[in-house]
Amino acid sequence: MKTMKSVIHKLLYTSFLMLLSTLLFLQSCNNDNEPTKWVDLRYRVNDSYSVEAQNPTPISFQVKSSDPWEIFGKCDWYTITPNTGNPEETYTVTITCNENSNLDDRTDTINIKSDYWTGKQFVIMQKGTAYLVAGEPQVIPLTGGQTSFDIQTNQKWTAEITEGEKWLSVQGDLSGELNGKITIQAPINKGEQRTGIVTIYDRYGKVAQEVPCKQEGVILEPETPSNGKFYTISKEAQQFKIHIESNTEWKVAKQNEEEDDWYAFEETSFNNSGDLILNVDRHGGTSVRTGVIVLSTQGGEGTEPITKTIRFKQANPPTAKEFEYDRTFSTWLQYGPAGLMPGEYTFYFDPLKDTDLYFYFSWEKAGEPTLEMRFHIENSTTSLSTTPWCGDIVNVKVKVDTSKELRLGINVKEAVDKIDPTKSWIYTEWVLNGEVIAKATADGIDLDGNTDSWIGSYERTETGANFLYKTSGGSARITKYAYAGPTDWGE
């Protein structure tokens, strides 16, 4: 009897499980047949907006959605019209800000939402009314004295001398609220013209303005070298010019008169500003040589003598290392060694005779245009070009004696931008049998003074260059190449 009841219970339980599974399956099928919910929310709105404290300009943009939508933020200093909308209609929404009478700026994040979907969040920022304006740059005569400038503001402020505190002082209060005045003073200046800065801070201690202060004095100021340390000149004999700004009499001398016999001054005494000209001999040594010159004023009644030193370095002739590279080639483009770093290269070829040579020196980098120098010999005449275009060199046509060994030179150097010393460019030279026949890219401006497209950042040389070659009308043979690295200027 117990066994029969047990069997009946098991049958009922099994039937219940089967029924439950069937119901769940049917429910699953019903869910699969329902369409997926989606929202087509569209808008034309910026990521952020900024409006003025007074008379703020309203912000307008468009919104459209397949479902009802709403726009909202957290603050109450603006109104959104309309802030809701019906499906499938395009609305122009306008946010109008109240005038901000507080000193501080204020911001809020606005949400565009339709059904479950927040499609866009953007920020509106309204400026506060705080302002702080200090005076113009101040000048104190060399005899000393006082000068003042006004502070116009609607908040608390503080002042501090942040440069020139050894000679410049503030008379009166260094802090205040609303409009005020700062008076500075300095004693007599017996030396060089000097500069200072009075820094004005706002109510939060943030820098609001810096007021430059200058006291007149002796000026003896050489122009600054591009590297900020010393001038660099090539190994060739030349005249080298350094501009000196001055308002007094001054003279120049060598620091090491006996040792530095490789350069001479055209003049040694000057009155006010002028160009210091050095006649420099050609350098034939094995290392860079350094000259140090001293500028000095005489001094006199009420003034102290001033001295300044200038360093300049002259490059030594590069010492080249030769690499054996024996290749005979013809019309198929051949790749030479890769990873060639800046410096002076010379490539040696057997006599070309009636063969035309096509020689390329290029920098390739993924995602950037190729920079390429071309040194071709066609019909026994040079044919030069670049990618991108450079107008300085295309018309350089030099006859080549193709019955003799040919030496093609490629010089790659760094040229510091004359306007922005933080930038540097690839400076290039084409050299035929030891003679420079063309140059391109000097300081980021081409040689005829116009902007050219052959401008490559010197950073591109970090990956190294390739040289490639081919011929037309016969074969040619390259026997070796030589390389001399850039000048080691030291510190």
Residues 435 and 328 in one domain: yes
Give the pLDDT of residue 390.
81
- Tell whether the model's pLDDT for residue 62 goes beyond 60: yes
Which residue type sits at 474? Answer: G
- Global pTM reads 0.62
Residues 237 and 207 in one domain: no
Cis, bond preceding 388 (omega within 30 deg of 0): yes
Q: Which two tokens stand for residue 66?
A: 């397949």
Give the pLDDT of residue 449.
52
Can you tell me the distance from the alpha carbon of 153 to that of 157, in angstroms, rounded to the nearest whole number?
8
Which CATH number fits the domain that encloses residue 448?
A: 2.60.120.200
Instruction: Examine residue 107 and state whether it is found in any structural domain, yes or no.
Output: yes
Can you tell me the distance from the alpha carbon of 307 to that of 320, in angstroms, rounded to the nearest whole number?
41
Give the pLDDT of residue 109.
97
Contact 102, 94 (CB under 8 A): no
| Overall domain count for the chain | 4
Contact 319, 326 (CB under 8 A): no
Name 405's Cβ contacts closer than 8 Å, sequence gap at least 6: 348, 349, 350, 351
Can you tell me the distance from the alpha carbon of 280 to that of 238, in angstroms, rounded to the nearest whole number?
5
DSSP 216: -
Full residue range of the structural domain in which residue 78 is found: 41-126
Stated as kind and residue range, the H or E segment containing 4 is: helix 2-33
Residues 427 and 377 in one domain: yes
Per-residue pLDDT averaged across 178-185, rounded? 94
CA distances from 362 to 255, 295, 469, 485 (A): 45, 45, 11, 18
Can you tell me the distance from the alpha carbon of 454 to that of 445, in angstroms, rounded to the nearest whole number?
9
Instruction: Examine residue 296 and state whether it is found in any structural domain, yes or no.
Output: yes
Instruction: Examine residue 269 and state whether it is found in any structural domain, yes or no.
Output: yes
Characterise 64 by phi-psi region: left (phi > 0), alpha (psi -120 to 50), beta (else): beta
Give the pLDDT of residue 414.
86
Residues 479 and 383 in one domain: yes
Residues 156 and 178 in one domain: yes
Q: Give the torsion sign (CA, 7, 13, 17, 23).
A: positive
In terms of Cβ atoms closer than 10 Å to its own Cβ (0-12, 13-18, 19+), residue 114 is buried
Residues 410 and 355 in one domain: yes
Residues 304 and 330 in one domain: no
DSSP 436: E
Residues 334 and 431 in one domain: yes
pLDDT tens, 26-35?
444 444 455 5
Which CATH number fits the domain that encloses residue 157?
A: 2.60.40.10
| Of 263, 289, 314, the domain-final residue | 314
pLDDT tens, 187-237?
999 999 999 999 999 999 999 999 999 999 999 999 999 888 999 998 999
| Of 259, 283, 314, the domain-final residue | 314
Summary mean pLDDT of the chain: 88
**Strand 138-140 vs strand 207-215: parallel, antiparallel, or unpaired?**
parallel
Residues 456 and 346 in one domain: yes
Location of structure tokens 């050489």: 222
- Residue 17: pLDDT band by 50, 70, 90 thresholds? very low
What percentage of residues in the chain have a pLDDT greater than 90?
Answer: 72
